[in-house]
Amino acid sequence: MTRHLFAHARAVLPDRTLDDALVVVEDGRITEVAPVIPGAVPTGALDLGGALLLPGIIDTHSDALEKEQRPRPAVEFEPGFAVLSVEGRVRAAGVTTVHHAVGYQTDVLKDRTIERSLALAAAVWERAAAGVGLVDHRLLHRFDARASETLEIVKDVLAPQPHSEPPLVSYEDHTPGQGQYRNLDAYRATIQRQQHLSAPDADRLIRRLIEERADSIPQRARTLAHLGQEARGGRIRLLAHDVESAEELAEVRAEGAAVAEFPTTREAARAAHDSGMPVVAGAPNVLRGGSHSGNVSAEALITEGLVDNLSSDYMPTTLLAAALHLAQRRVVPLHTAVALITSGAARTAGFTDRGALVPGRRADLVVVTADGGRPTVRMSLLAEESRDGDAAAPLSAARLFQSTGR
């Protein structure tokens, strides 16, 4: 048995923050969380000096991998390298479990193709299977409701997965006039800026997209029916993306959706919360003080207790920063804010083995200091890395610590 101890930590527990805590890890599992007894700190314990000790952060929706592979329109890196590169970034942000969002569609505006997405997904699974990663790599499969090619590949993509939990699948519709882009003024401003369009050209593009949306209603129905069948069969965990009304929420919930991801209105968030569905909001929305698409404020929803989970969406470093921002401004207590990126995220993903400093859970840990009001991740630790006697452990960070027994 390999045993490691962390002393003098401000341990953020599910229901409170325990100052001057002792956390004991044995063979990759948390076995004890208790107050330090003055004068009785076990020999060999790592003194955290009052730093925050959190469960490893769980990111349920990260677009960072696509951006890492193609940081500029004319620059593209090999998928395996992109996975390695983004792995280091998310680990440095305190993330120990990340769901890479991969969209299976051809979308010129988002610089996305099915072939590129399939290659990225394969690279993620290859890194995960190697057992040497700095984080636990997962996928969030994104399927556009109106893309005709979606159902042709969904069965292959969602073939038996390497994990026991059902894979996360996001059901999305990004056509203007509804969902994320219900605010047409905000959408018009976005595409004008991104595509360097005049106002009349932007209006013509929006009209064309709305007309095409009407033609794709049958495809949307087929996509939802198939994904709903998979969800009800327990083969996937279905996320309803950008829902905007109680009626839409009821429709996708009836089809088997288990999570409301980025509801665009308070009405939709309230309907999801009242039905017992986890609600996911964006951490960037919190830090920026609102939605860049003109939708509901994440902080306003959190104030009302309508959000269970913050995801990074497109910027991994926002997770920890948003949680501490909420606590510093006293929107919610620290333990509640941290739960949005740990235990709440575990609920979204269907995990029961991580996300809280509780005996029996995985020892995915993050040590954080708040410097100048902003968080600095001083250490991240995967459960596998605290098992230096385990032949299955790829590389043990536990060798950096002094063990107190085996």
Transcribe 175-244 into DSSP letters.
-TTSGGG--HHHHHHHHHHHHT--HHHHHHHHHHHHHHHHHTHHHHHHHHHHHHHHHHTTS-EEEEES--
Domain identity same for 45 and 70: no
User: b vs e for 166-191, b when ≥16 Cβ sit within 10 Å of the residue's Cβ?
Assistant: bbbbbbbbbbbebbbbbbbebbbbbb
DSSP lists the bridge partners of residue 100 as: 62, 139
pLDDT at position 90 = 97
* Residues 63, 196 within the same domain: yes
171 φ/ψ sector (left φ>0, alpha ψ -120 to 50, else beta): beta
| Non-local CB neighbours of 331 within 8 Å, separated by 6+ positions | 299, 302, 303, 337
Number of domains in the chain: 2
What is the strand order of the sheet 237-241 is part of?
A: 57-62, 95-103, 136-144, 168-172, 237-241, 259-261, 279-282, 309-311
Q: Where are the beta strands (DSSP E) in 85-128?
A: 95-103
- Same domain for 30 and 92? no
- 405 within some domain: no
- Measure CA 124 to chain center: 15
Look at residue 247 in the predicted model and tell me its pLDDT.
92
Contact 341, 281 (CB under 8 A): no
Q: Which amino acid is present at 369?
A: T
- Which of left, alpha, beta for 217 (phi over 0: left; psi -120 to 50: alpha)? alpha
* CATH code for position 116: 3.20.20.140
Is residue 232 domain-shared with residue 371, that is, in the same domain? no
How far apart (Å, rounded) are the C-alpha atoms in residues 345 and 289? 21
Domain membership of residue 291 (yes or no) is yes
Q: What does the pLDDT read at residue 257?
A: 95
Single out the residue of 295, 296, 253, 249 nearest to residue 271, CA to CA: 249
Tokens of 83: 């996975």
Q: What is the pLDDT of residue 333?
A: 98
Handedness of CA 177, 182, 186, 190 (dihedral sign): negative
Does residue 49 contact residue 378 with C-beta atoms inside 8 Å? no
pTM of the model: 0.87
Look at residue 406 and tell me if it is in a domain.
no
Give the pLDDT of residue 373. Answer: 79
From CA 33, how far away is CA 31, in angstroms rounded?
7
Output the pLDDT for position 173.
Answer: 72
Residues 197 and 83 in one domain: yes
User: Range of 117's domain?
Assistant: 56-349
114 shares its domain with 31: no
Ranges of the chain whose pLDDT falls below 70: 107-110, 146-148, 160-161, 174-191, 193-195, 201-203, 205-206, 209-217, 293, 388-406
**So what's the pLDDT on residue 211?**
64
The pLDDT of residue 131 is 87
Q: Residue 307's closest CA among 266, 246, 335? A: 266
Say whether 248 sits in a helix, a strand or coil: helix
pLDDT for 148 equals 67
**Residue 14: which CATH number?**
2.30.40.10
